Amino acid sequence: MHTEKERKTKEVIDEHAQKVEGCLSCFNGCLEAFLQGDRARCESTHKNCDFAEPEADIGIMESEIDKKKHAIMRTIYRSGLTLIRKIHLERFVRQITEISDVIEDASDRLDILVIRERV
């Protein structure tokens, strides 16, 4: 019932949603340990996370997600879907990618906390 393009778009969105869910789980565990002052558990949670990027710059990753979001939006609006389906998909993609903005903000706040702790 779905075209090949629709199926591929759905696969990309589903894959992204799974990665975000796993990343948030690791992030919450790390943040909880950090806020409790358990640096060892924080580092262990981060080290054992399947989604952690060594030396990752979250700002760069968030920028890449924005680029992919725009590409997905172009694909959605160029597709043969009805307008209402396009709008629903657009809203869904925006909600999913908004998570990366929240993660970037949280990362910035954690950086500030770490700097304050060191001073």
The predicted-structure confidence for 29-84, as pLDDT tens digits, reads as follows 877 887 888 878 877 776 777 665 554 577 777 788 888 889 989 998 898 889 99
Domain ranges of the chain: 4-118
- Name the average pLDDT for the chain: 79
pLDDT at 85 over 70: yes
For domain 4-118, give the fold.
Methane Monooxygenase Hydroxylase; Chain G, domain 1 (1.20.58)
The predicted-structure confidence for 5-40, as pLDDT tens digits, reads as follows 777 777 777 777 777 777 777 778 877 887 888 878
pLDDT band at 88 (very low <50, low <70, confident <90, very high): very high
Looking at per-residue pLDDT, the higher value among 96 and 51 belongs to 96
pLDDT at position 19, please? Answer: 74
Return the structure tokens found at 37: 């002052």
Looking at per-residue pLDDT, the higher value among 53 and 97 belongs to 97
